[in-house]
Structures are given as structure tokens and as C-alpha cells.
């Protein structure tokens, strides 16, 4: 099975542009409509307006508009032009809109305020603020005078694209035109100042607002409160809320800020304060709390908040249910997540794209692809069109279970639907190919990304490098590192760790050290994982003494060894039959990292058993039990193997039975017995 290429399919899926000649001669493959009303002298403005307003097909609406214009029974008016322009702006057919506006000018029909606003809003939605500005600066030429509403929509469009440098000139122009700003104007300006980290200036504007007779509303205050919280000025935010007549919106802004610093107790106190003041927490209040609690892993507490929400008569919405569902999925509690989904449907909340994506991603993450595919089919049946996140979740799910065919099939389905893959989807497919040892395909896919102008990121290259290293193709992985740099993608600690692991496993320590020096030169952080990777390689090939030198360097760099570091050294000493040294390392673990684990004890017990020292191995078994570390299968296997090697095994087994049956662990609780036995066994 092969992947469908992206470019051609995407071109086919694009909506063909509507074309119109200067005399409104529409080129369309739609069937010609009947024109029985076009030549009628009784055709009225209301009839034409009604037909244009309710026609769902834009090509047919345009054709009807033209046929009316060509007839002698009706001349288009400001209302009919405006109705068609409104329909076209919603469809983002701005070339035709500009032509119609020019036609209005030629016919001496002035544009209305709402036409200009529709045009500005449409340009804002498509991110074309330059065109919005050009339209604004020619409105007088189109027979329309600037109004406060037009200015507000223009300022809002500039704010959405963070064009702060243009907001001040437009506002100054507004004052020159003698147009008095209203509450909406001030709120836009306050938001712009806050987003530009000018909270003090936003405060001054708040004062100016009051002096001009415009009382700040909940939007004004909540904008400033939110900005203060984002800046870490929670005290100032709280003081501002106390000074004003707070609303649920201002409280919500403060609650969100407190959660940003994980001040949970204060959040619940604030909710109680709201209730005491007669301000009912709304669905946003509760959903914010539930969402943050779920992110923190407190799903049980979030259920308690949901119960309180219901008791206070506040109905949850789709975002409330989605947050809960996501929280359960992240704890792998699939059954509870599906119960939430069922409750959401029962409450009449129709799932949207976000809810479906959370459901499908959660099921895929928990390797429940069958149910995820059922949800995907249900999504399409409910006319909820999947997006790139939906396909990404499914492809990643197939990747985790190594289902190459399933992932490829989903990719092809995505391309057939005209959904353009992003870097996340590409990376998931690279992972699919790597897990299937199809490295040529993975490399080709990265090349395809570059040709489609979808730049691979560090994760994409790391996925390929890991797959190559795991397959023992370290040379290819090193070449990928060079390509990664050539494409301006900086390798990170994970990149180097994967390569170091690959080089160490094949005993290529010369190149591994060169890579380590390169990391240091590039200022890439060396982590415990980096050093453990090198130590593991030395323990496997070069020997434990060389590994200990790396541990020394690690400590000199201020990086604390962890349990894995110690376990690697213990294992290496046992492998070299230096059990006494291994015991010394085990003894130092408690001082260095505060604990020992089952792997450490099992390794030492295995080493002692291999040397026919079963009684000594049992001493460490007892110490292990005394530290409440539960032996695993490997621990017992090591002892069983030791029993078969030991000629006096019956005595050893009987002594073990006596200890376990009589509960003599109490005798050893002070640790003195073990200290004496350790001195006896190893002479230390």
C-alpha cells in the first residue's frame, strides 16, 4: 500500500473561484434559472431582496442579480446590493465584493455603514488587515461617512493581528474626525495596551473612560484583571476587584490567574465569596476550575466541583464535559471517560469537533483503536468534518500498535478529503515507517515535507534517528543529524542521547566522545540520561572502571547520579564478579539518593548466587524485605538458580522458611544484624 501524494489532491479539493466580467457575466456551470420575473414591471425591491436573502447558492444568487440588472423592470438599490455583498463577504468572495462596490459608486448608490463593516469583518477573518485599511480609507469615496462602529471594527481587526503600530494612528484619526469613542472603543484600546504589556497605560485609559462619561463594564475590568494575573501581579488584581462592583467575568479572570500559580485554596475561597455576595458562578467559572483540576490530575476533585455546579443549578456545557473526559483519558480511565461522553449526549450537548477530537485522541492514546474508528465514523455521520488533528490522532494510534496498513489507509483517506497534513501528521507517519523498518519511506516522507513547504521539526528528525539507532543503523542516523542541521533544525538533548546510545551499543566510543564534545561546544544540556547512556555503553564494552570515571565527571558537572546510574555500576561489578564492590555501591545509594530499588537488590542477590553464596544472598533478601521492597520474579529466579548451584541448599531453604514463617524481621529492624553480616561476608 502506498501513500497518496499531497499536492495534486489538495488542488482538486480547492473551491473554484467565482468569476465575473465587468458586465456581471458570471461564468458558472450551474443550470440556468428561470427568469420569469426579470422582465416583469411589477418586480419590487422587497421581492428581489427576499430572493437574494434566501438563496443558498452564491452562483445562482449572482446569476439572478445579473438577470435582474439586465432587465428593464428593476434597478438595483442600496438594499439589494447590500444583501448580495453580505452573502459574498461571508463566503470570502472579496474580488466580486470590490467590483460590486465600484458598480455602486458608478451608479451613484452610496455604501451603507453595515456594508463597510461586513467588508472589514471579512478581511479580518482572512487576516487581510491591509485590505481592511484600504477599504476604510476609501469609504468617503464610496459615499459613506465614518462612524464609531466602523472605527471599532477596524480597530478590532488590527488588534486581532497585533498591529499595535497602526492602532494609535487610527484612533488619532478617529478623534480628528470628531467621532467620540464609546465603551467598545475603549475596551479594544485597553485590550491592545494590555496585550502590549502596557498595563499602566490601560489603567489611565480606564480613568479617561470614566471622565468621558463612559462607565467601564465587566469587559474593561476583566481585561485588566487578566493582564495583571498574567504579569504575576495577583495582589494588584485582587485589590482592583475589591475596589469595583465585581461581576462574574472579573471573578472568572481572577480565578484563572490564581490557578496559573496553583493557588487552589484561594480559588475555592473566591467561589464562596462570590456566592456570599449574591454573584452566581457561571458555567465558565466551573468549567475553568474543572479544566485546571483535570490538568493537575485531580479528576476526583473535579467531579465534586461538577456535583456542586449541578446542585447550584448551573448546567454544564460541552467544554465542561470535554475537560472531564480529557482528564479521565489522561489517567487511562477509559470507561469513566466514555460514561462522561454518554452523559454529555444525554444532557443534550451535541458533540462538536473539539469533543470528537478529545474522544478519538483519548481512545487512540489508550490503544482502543476499534472504538476510535467507530467514533470517527459517527463523527462523519453527524456532519462533523474531521480536521488534521483528528487524522493525526488516528495515524498516531495506528503507529503505536505498529499497524502500517491502518495508518497508510487513514493517510490516504485524509488526502482524498483534501485535508492538508501538518508537521504532526508527517511525524506520526515517519514513526509508522520506522516501527515497520521502512526507513527509505520515512526519509522520502521527510523530503516530501520539504517540497510541500512543511518544515520538519526536531521531533520529526528525532523520530527517524531513534528508529535508525534502534535498528543498528547508526551511520545513517549520523547522516540524518547532518541533514537536520542543514535544514536549520537544531538538534536537542534527545537527539544526542539517542545517537550516543546507538554509538555506545556498537562500541564506537571515539565517535561517542566526539559527539559529547560537540554537545558541550553547542551549549546543549547534558542530562542524567546523557551520562547514563555513556556509562551503560562503557559497562557493556569497556569495563566498570572507565564507567566510574564518567560518573566522576558527571558529579563534577553538578549532575546528580540517579538509581539507574547506581544500578548500572552494581550490575557491571556483579558481571565482573566483584560483588564486594557492588555491595559498597549499594551501601552508598541510601546516602546519595535516599533509596534503593528492587533492581539493585536483585542484581546483587543474583551476583552472590552465581558465586554459590546463597546464605549471603538471603541476608540481602531480608534487608530488602526490611526496607519494604517487594521481591519480583527475577529476584526469586536468582535465588532458585542459586539453590541448584549450592550443595547445602536444604539448610539455606530451611533458614529462609524459618525467617518468613516466624516473622523474625523484627530482630533485624535496627539494622545491626545486617551491618555485622556485611562485615563478616565482605570484610568491611
How many CB atoms lie under 10 A from the CB of residue 664?
Answer: 12
C-alpha cell at 602: 536483585
Contacts of 564-569 with C-beta under 8 Å, sequence gap 24+, read 564/528, 564/532, 565/528, 565/531, 565/532, 565/535, 566/592, 566/593, 566/600, 567/597, 567/599, 567/600, 567/603, 568/532, 568/535, 568/536, 568/539, 569/535, 569/539, 569/544
Which tens digits make up the pLDDT trace of 133-175? 898 988 888 899 999 999 999 999 988 888 888 888 888 888 8
Question: Residue 520 belongs to what H/E stretch?
Answer: helix 509-522
Ranges of residues in the chain with a pLDDT under 50 are 6-40, 652, 656, 659-660, 662-684
Rounded to whole angstroms, the Cα distance separating 446 from 146 reads: 51
By the 8 A CB rule, do 607 and 579 touch? yes
C-alpha cell at 213: 462619561
Q: How many residues comprise the chain?
A: 684
Which of 1.25.40.10, 1.10.1740.10, 3.30.500.10, 3.40.50.10490 would CATH assign to domain 460-561? 1.25.40.10
DSSP H helices in 559-648: 563-575, 579-592, 598-610, 614-626, 633-645
Question: Residue 26 belongs to what H/E stretch?
Answer: strand 26-27
CA-based nearest residue to 222, from 196, 197, 257? 257
By the 8 A CB rule, do 485 and 463 touch? no
Question: Three-state SS across 184-220?
Answer: HHHHHHHHHHHHCCCHHHHHHHHHHHHHCCCCCCHHH
Structure letter (DSSP) for residue 594: S
CA-based nearest residue to 364, from 419, 401, 335? 401
**What does the radius of gyration of the chain's CA atoms come to, in whole angstroms?**
35
CA-based nearest residue to 496, from 524, 463, 536, 538? 524
Rounded to whole angstroms, the Cα distance separating 612 from 647 reads: 9
CA-based nearest residue to 220, from 206, 235, 237? 206
By the 8 A CB rule, do 257 and 237 touch? yes
For residue 5, the model assigns a pLDDT of 55
By the 8 A CB rule, do 369 and 337 touch? no
Q: Give the three-class secondary structure for 331.
A: coil
**DSSP secondary structure of 33-90:** PP-TTTT-TT--HHHHHHHHHH---HHHHHHHHHHHHHSSS----HHHHHHHHHHHHH
C-alpha cell at 409: 489507509
By the 8 A CB rule, do 439 and 476 touch? yes
Specify the domain boundaries for CATH 1.25.40.10 within the chain: 460-561
Which tens digits make up the pLDDT trace of 532-573? 887 887 777 657 777 787 788 788 878 888 888 888 888 888
Rounded to whole angstroms, the Cα distance separating 66 from 25 reads: 7
For residue 446, the model assigns a pLDDT of 92
Contacts of 233-237 with C-beta under 8 Å, sequence gap 24+, read 233/199, 234/258, 234/261, 234/263
By the 8 A CB rule, do 140 and 117 touch? no
How many CB atoms lie under 10 A from the CB of residue 315?
Answer: 12
Rounded to whole angstroms, the Cα distance separating 600 from 678 reads: 16
Rounded to whole angstroms, the Cα distance separating 141 from 137 reads: 9
Amino acid at each position: 500500500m502506498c501513500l497518496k501524494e499531497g499536492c495534486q489532491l489538495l488542488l482538486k479539493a480547492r473551491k473554484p473561484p467565482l468569476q465575473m466580467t465587468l458586465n456581471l457575466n458570471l461564468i458558472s456551470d450551474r443550470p440556468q434559472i428561470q427568469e420569469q420575473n426579470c422582465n416583469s414591471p411589477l418586480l419590487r425591491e422587497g421581492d428581489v431582496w427576499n430572493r437574494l436573502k434566501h438563496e443558498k447558492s452564491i452562483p445562482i444568487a449572482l446569476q439572478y442579480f445579473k438577470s435582474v440588472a439586465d432587465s428593464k423592470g428593476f434597478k438595483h438599490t442600496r438594499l439589494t446590493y447590500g444583501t448580495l455583498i453580505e452573502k459574498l463577504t461571508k463566503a470570502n468572495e472579496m474580488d466580486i465584493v470590490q467590483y460590486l462596490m465600484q458598480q455602486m459608486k458608478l451608479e451613484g448608490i452610496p455604501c451603507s455603514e453595515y456594508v463597510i463593516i461586513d467588508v472589514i469583518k471579512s478581511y479580518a477573518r482572512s487576516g487581510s488587515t491591509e485590505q481592511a485599511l484600504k477599504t476604510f480609507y476609501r469609504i468617503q469615496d464610496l459615499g459613506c461617512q465614518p462612524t464609531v462602529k466602523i472605527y471599532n471594527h477596524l480597530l478590532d481587526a488590527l488588534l486581532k493581528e497585533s498591529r499595535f503600530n497602526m492602532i494609535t494612528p487610527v484612533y488619532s484619526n478617529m478623534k480628528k474626525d470628531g467621532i467620540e469613542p464609546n465603551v467598545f472603543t475603549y475596551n479594544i484600546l485597553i485590550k491592545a495596551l494590555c496585550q502590549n504589556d502596557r498595563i499602566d497605560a490601560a489603567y489611565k485609559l480606564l480613568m479617561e473612560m470614566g471622565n468621558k462619561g463612559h462607565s467601564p463594564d465587566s469587559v474593561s475590568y476583566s481585561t485588566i484583571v487578566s493582564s495583571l494575573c498574567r504579569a504575576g501581579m495577583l495582589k494588584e488584581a485582587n485589590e482592583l476587584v475589591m475596589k469595583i462592583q465585581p461581576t462574574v467575568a472579573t471573578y472568572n479572570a481572577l480565578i484563572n490567574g490564581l490557578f496559573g500559580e496553583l493557588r487552589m485554596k484561594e480559588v475555592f475561597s473566591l467561589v464562596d465569596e462570590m456566592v456570599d455576595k449574591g454573584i452566581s458562578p457561571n458555567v465558565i467559572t466551573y468549567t475553568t476550575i474543572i479544566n485546571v483540576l483535570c490538568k493537575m490530575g485531580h479528576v476526583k476533585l473535579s467531579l465534586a466541583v461538577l456535583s456542586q455546579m449541578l446542585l447550584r443549578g448551573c448546567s454544564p456545557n460541552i467544554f465542561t464535559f470535554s475537560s472531564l473526559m480529557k482528564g479521565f483519558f489522561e489517567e487511562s480511565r477509559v470507561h469513566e471517560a466514555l460514561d462522561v461522553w454518554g452523559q454529555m449526549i444525554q444532557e443534550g450537548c451535541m458533540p462538536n469537533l473539539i469533543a470528537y477530537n478529545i474522544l478519538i485522541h483519548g481512545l487512540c492514546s489508550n490503544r482502543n483503536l476499534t472504538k476510535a474508528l467507530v467514533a470517527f465514523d459517527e463523527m462523519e455521520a453527524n456532519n462533523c468534518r474531521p480536521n488534521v488533528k483528528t487524522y493525526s490522532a488516528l495515524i498516531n494510534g495506528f503507529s503505536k500498535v505498529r499497524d502500517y496498513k491502518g495508518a497508510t489507509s487513514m493517510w490516504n483517506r485524509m488526502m482524498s478529503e483534501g485535508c492538508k497534513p501538518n508537521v504532526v501528521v508527517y511525524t506520526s507517519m515517519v514513526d509508522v515507517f520506522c516501527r515497520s523498518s521502512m526507513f527509505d519511506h520515512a526519509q522520502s516522507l521527510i523530503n516530501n515535507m520539504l517540497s510541500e513547504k512543511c518544515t520538519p521539526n526536531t521531533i520529526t528528525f528525532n523520530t527517524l534517528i531513534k528508529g535508525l539507532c534502534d535498528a543498528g543503523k547508526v551511520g545513517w542516523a549520523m547522516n540524518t543529524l547532518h541533514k537536520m542541521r542543514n535544514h536549520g533544525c537544531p538538534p536537542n538533548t534527545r537527539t544526542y542521547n539517542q545517537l550516543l546510545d546507538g554509538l555506545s551499543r556498537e562500541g564506537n566510543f571515539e565517535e561517542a566522545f566526539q559527539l559529547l564534545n560537540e554537545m558541550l561546544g553547542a551549549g546543549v544540556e547534558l542530562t542524567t540520561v546523557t551520562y547514563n547512556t555513556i556509562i551503560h555503553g562503557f559497562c557493556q564494552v569497556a569495563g566498570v572502571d572507565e564507567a566510574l570515571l564518567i560518573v566522576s565527571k558527571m558529579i563534577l558537572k553538578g549532575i546528580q547520579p540517579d538509581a539507574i546510574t547506581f544500578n548500572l555500576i552494581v550490575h557491571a561489578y556483579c558481571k565482573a564478579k566483584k560483588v564486594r564492590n557492588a555491595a559498597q555501591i549499594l551501601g552508598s545509594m541510601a546516602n546519595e539518593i535516599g533509596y534503593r530499588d528492587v533492581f539493585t537488590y536483585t542484581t546483587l542477590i543474583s551476583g552472590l548466587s552465581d558465586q554459590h553464596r546463597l546464605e549471603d544472598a538471603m541476608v540481602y533478601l531480608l534487608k530488602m524485605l526490611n526496607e519494604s521492597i517487594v521481591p519480583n520474579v527475577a529476584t526469586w529466579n536468582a535465588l532458585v538458580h542459586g539453590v541448584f548451584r549450592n550443595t547445602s541448599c536444604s539448610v539455606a531453604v530451611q533458614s529462609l522458611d524459618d525467617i518468613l514463617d516466624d516473622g523474625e524481621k523484627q530482630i533485624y529492624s535496627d539494622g545491626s544484624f545486617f551491618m555485622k553480616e556485611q562485615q563478616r561476608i565482605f570484610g568491611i
